């Protein structure tokens, strides 16, 4: 029989064989068809995912650059705000089924993936403010190693950034960044994450409705 220590050793060896580089392991986790689409067709892309303990499905705001043009997309459920609301005519059941269908769908260039019209000058300025090259050096919660023992928050928001170029896909995650920024003090990585999140949300509000 194999004891627990031997099992742990074999588990570590398997992880090393399949994921010799921790960043590569992150890349595999992030590489949905949608992520790979951007890697193959755009020079640089930033995908922002907002989630929480009660909603972990894709909820993406996406800004991407190809040559000199900047683009903005969303990938999110059109039924996200219908939960807990009673609609007449069996709409509640219908919306719930559609939401479940969205959750079971792998992110791709499907009907949930939508381009958004925004004034080109606004897009260009936003891209410049995001400073993609600085984002690639971003240290997230895990990389910063900052102790959070004195600050406790339940059901905080999870903010994940997928940084994509032709060569790699990098993931950076921040849990309840506003809370920890107020509780722990200034952290440059956390501040940059908050600023990027706020900028992408502002872009979403500036979409031209047609």
Task: Report the DSSP beta bridge partners of residue 48.
Answer: 61, 161
pLDDT digits (tens, 9 = 90+) for 5-41: 444 444 434 333 433 333 333 433 458 999 999 999 9
CA distance 79 to 98: 7
Q: How many CB atoms lie within 10 A of CB 89?
A: 7
Could you give the percent of the chain with pLDDT greater than 70? 81
pLDDT tops 80 at residue 74: yes
Rounded CA separation 173/64 (Å): 19
Answer yes or no: are the C-beta atoms of 72 and 47 closer than 8 Å: no
- Reduced 3-state DSSP string for 146-182: CCCCCCCCCCCCEEEEEEEECCCEEEEEEECHHHHHH
pTM of the prediction?
0.81
Per-residue model confidence (pLDDT) at position 144: 64
Q: Report whether 19 contacts 28 (CB < 8 A).
A: yes
The two structure tokens encoding residue 167: 């060569």
69-75 and 169-175: which strand pairing?
unpaired
Mean per-residue pLDDT of the chain:
83
Model pLDDT for residues 101-140, shown as the tens digit of each residue? 999 999 999 999 999 999 999 999 999 999 888 888 888 8
Return the percentage of the chain with pLDDT > 90, whole number: 54
């Amino acid at each position: 029989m194999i004891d627990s220590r031997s099992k742990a050793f074999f588990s570590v060896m398997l992880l090393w064989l399949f994921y010799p580089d921790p960043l590569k392991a992150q890349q595999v986790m992030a590489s949905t068809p949608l992520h790979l689409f951007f890697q193959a067709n755009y020079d640089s892309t930033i995908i922002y995912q907002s989630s929480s303990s009660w909603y972990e499905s894709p909820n993406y705001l996406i800004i991407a650059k190809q040559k000199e043009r900047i683009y903005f997309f969303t990938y999110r459920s059109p039924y996200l705000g219908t939960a807990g609301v009673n609609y007449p005519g069996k709409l509640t059941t219908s919306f719930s089924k559609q939401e479940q269908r969205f959750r079971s769908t792998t992110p791709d260039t499907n009907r949930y993936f939508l381009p958004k019209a925004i004034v080109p000058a606004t897009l260009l300025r936003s891209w410049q403010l995001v400073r993609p090259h600085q984002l690639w050096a971003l240290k997230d919660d895990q990389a910063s190693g900052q102790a959070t023992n004195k600050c406790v928050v339940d059901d905080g928001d999870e903010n994940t950034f997928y940084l994509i170029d032709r060569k790699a896909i990098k993931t950076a995650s921040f849990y309840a960044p506003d809370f920890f920024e107020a509780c722990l003090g200034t952290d440059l990585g956390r501040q940059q994450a908050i600023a990027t999140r706020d900028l992408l949300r502002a872009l979403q509000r500036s979409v031209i409705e047609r």
